[in-house]
């Protein structure tokens, strides 16, 4: 389907395009013409530059936005540490928590809804690698909230860009640069440092977050695919300028910051959402996963999952990602003489999977459920479960539609991913029988060939007629 059939209607307008240089004004004439930093900005506004990359980053990578606001973002009291005993999303030397680095395949039951907390306090780090203080690596979060953030609060993360994947419920996100409505089967990205507030117009919400500590998300190169396909740039949507007015000094607002994985708070006497106009290429955006143009084999063999990449964040080694966001949408399979589900494999990349809805076509039964997750770490062997393998090995290979009504996704990383204490134990959602249920039931189907079918040797180290070398059998 080209566009998702959403149950909740859109209520905002957007600018279209990925990585575009946008400009927008909520009051006509608020954007200065011919300069970014005039001595006196229109209507008495303050000029403020928001830089997402170093000033000297190459032009093709440089991300920045000029804001024209009623009061600058710096107009607040000092930050103070808050909830130091309970809010810790940076395991290791900078926090009280620790990473559990383990090779076991892991799978989680659906994570619980929690109607007692707001967006900020619903964030639970499940897994990750690296260190936000060094701007290296990534974090993988679950969110589950039941309350609006206070109208007198705003939040931002100094640690990285949030890629938000809703699984249940609707997020109404007011950012400094405008508003986004984000529903299941949509994603949004809120870059590092941008302040926002989350309300829940349809009640409790739940989903997944990939926080990118290093670099920014980009569309993957298409190579031989050509100039179109996968996620098309025109389908990404950025907000238009929208602002509040409350600057009389009679109301106290709280600005919350996630900084090195810990929570800080500062007070200010004016609304944080007072950007009247902006222009630049550093802004929040959203995307409808139903618009993804799936590419696949039409002859034989299951392609690598990289063919389903929506967004990527590359390391300093081209082709090796700190983070890929990959989806498995409804699609046709037509390959001949091909085992169609994902093959058994071991991967130098770590794979964290989630399910937004439906049933993932590489798993049967109820083990991998919507709002659940799985983690197959660096070189941890995995693949289709026993029943899926049996079914796919004997299936009639006619053209078929898979994944109807389903949307699975993967956060993939070149880094070895650790699991937090919350993810491994405190959440109490790890399935202890994952291996026993999925792969231990697999049975050998090997049939020893006749001796005349062996070339240059036989199995079990017995010398063959053709020579003295012991090697694996070859088949003619």
- In DSSP terms, 409 is beta-bridged to 327, 354
121 has catalytic annotation: no
Residues 203, 146 contacting (CB under 8 angstroms): yes
d(CA 349, CA 322): 9
Active site residue 389: no
Cβ proximity of 6 and 183 under 8 Å: yes
Identified catalytic residue from 48, 176, 351, 412: 351
- E strand or H helix at 172: strand 171-175
Catalytic residue chosen out of the listed positions 211, 376, 389, 412? 376
Show Cβ contacts of residue 294 under 8 Å, excluding neighbours closer than 6 positions: 308, 329, 331
262 labelled catalytic: no
Which of the residues 168, 262, 270, 382 is marked catalytic?
382
Nearest to 287 by CA among 65, 18, 23: 18
Helix (H) or strand (E) holding 210: strand 205-212
Mention every residue, 6+ apart, whose C-beta is less than 8 A from residue 129: 99, 137, 138, 350, 413, 415, 416, 417, 418
The dihedral through the CA atoms of 93, 98, 99, 100 has a sign that is positive
CA 46 – CA 70 distance, rounded (Å):
6
- Dihedral through CA 265, CA 268, CA 274, CA 278, nearest 10? -60
465 is catalytic: no
Q: Which of 345, 404, 465, 474 is catalytic?
A: 345
Q: Is 124 a catalytic residue?
A: no
DSSP-assigned letter for residue 42 = G
Contact 111, 142 (CB under 8 A): yes
Q: Which member of 94, 100, 247, 302 is catalytic?
A: 302
Distance, in Å, from the CA atom of 172 to the CA atom of 176, rounded to the nearest integer, reads: 13
Task: Return d(Cα 328, Cα 407) in angstroms, integer.
Answer: 6
d(C-alpha 36, C-alpha 48), whole Å: 9
* CA distances from residue 21 to 14, 76, 188 in whole angstroms, order as listed: 14, 30, 18
3-state SS assignment for residue 395: coil
DSSP for 361-418, written as a single string: TT--TTSS-TT-EEEE-TT--B-S-HHHHHHHHT---S-EEE-TT-EEEEEEESSPPE
- Written as six digits, the tokens of 284 are 């929040």
Q: For tokens 């409505």, what's the residue?
A: 181
Strand partners for 156: 257
C-alpha span between 190 and 99 (Å, rounded): 26
- Cα separation, 79 vs 87, whole angstroms: 16
Active-site residues, by number, are: 302, 345, 351, 376, 382
């Amino acid at each position: 389907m080209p566009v998702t059939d959403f149950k909740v209607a859109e209520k905002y307008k957007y600018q279209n395009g990925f990585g575009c240089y946008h400009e927008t004004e909520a009051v006509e004439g608020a954007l200065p013409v011919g300069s970014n930093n005039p001595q006196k900005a229109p209507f008495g506004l303050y000029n403020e530059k928001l830089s997402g990359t170093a000033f000297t980053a190459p032009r093709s990578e440089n991300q920045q936005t000029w804001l024209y606001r009623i009061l600058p973002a710096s107009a607040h009291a000092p930050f103070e540490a808050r909830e130091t005993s309970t809010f810790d999303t940076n395991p290791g030397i900078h926090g009280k928590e620790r990473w559990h680095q383990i090779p076991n395949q892991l799978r989680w039951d659906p994570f619980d809804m929690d109607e007692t907390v707001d967006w900020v306090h619903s964030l639970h780090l499940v897994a990750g690698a690296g260190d936000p203080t060094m701007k290296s690596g990534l974090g993988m979060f679950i969110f589950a909230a039941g309350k609006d953030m206070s109208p007198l609060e705003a939040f931002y993360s100094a640690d990285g860009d949030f890629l938000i994947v809703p699984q249940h419920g609707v997020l109404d996100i007011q950012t400094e640069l405008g508003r986004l409505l984000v529903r299941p089967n949509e994603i949004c990205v809120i870059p590092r440092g941008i302040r926002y507030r989350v309300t829940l117009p349809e009640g409790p919400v739940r989903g997944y977050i990939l926080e990118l500590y290093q670099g920014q998300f980009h569309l993957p190169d298409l190579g031989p695919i050509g100039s179109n396909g996968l996620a098309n740039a025109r389908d990404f949507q950025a907000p238009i300028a929208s602002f509040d007015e409350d600057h009389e000094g009679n109301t106290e607002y709280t600005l919350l910051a996630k900084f090195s994985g810990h929570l800080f708070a500062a007070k200010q006497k004016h609304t944080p959402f007072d950007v009247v106009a902006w222009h630049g290429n550093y802004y929040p955006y959203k995307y409808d996963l139903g618009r993804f143009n799936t590419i696949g084999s039409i002859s034989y063999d299951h392609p690598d999952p990289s063919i389903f990449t929506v967004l990527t964040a590359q390391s300093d080694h081209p082709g090796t990602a700190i983070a890929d966001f990959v989806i498995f949408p409804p699609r046709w399979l037509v390959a001949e003489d091909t085992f169609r589900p994902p093959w058994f494999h071991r991967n130098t990349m770590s794979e964290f999977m989630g399910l937004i809805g439906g049933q993932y076509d590489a798993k049967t039964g109820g083990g991998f459920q919507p709002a659940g997750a799985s983690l197959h770490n660096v070189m941890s062997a995995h693949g289709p479960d026993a029943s899926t393998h049996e079914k796919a090995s004997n299936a009639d290979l006619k053209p078929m539609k898979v994944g109807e009504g389903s949307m699975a996704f993967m956060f993939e990383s070149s880094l070895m991913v650790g699991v937090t204490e919350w993810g491994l134990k405190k959440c109490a959602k790890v399935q202890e029988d994952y291996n026993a249920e999925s792969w231990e039931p697999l049975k050998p189907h090997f049939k020893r060939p006749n001796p005349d079918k062996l070339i240059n040797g036989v199995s079990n180290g017995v010398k063959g007629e053709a020579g003295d070398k012991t090697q694996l059998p070859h088949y003619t």
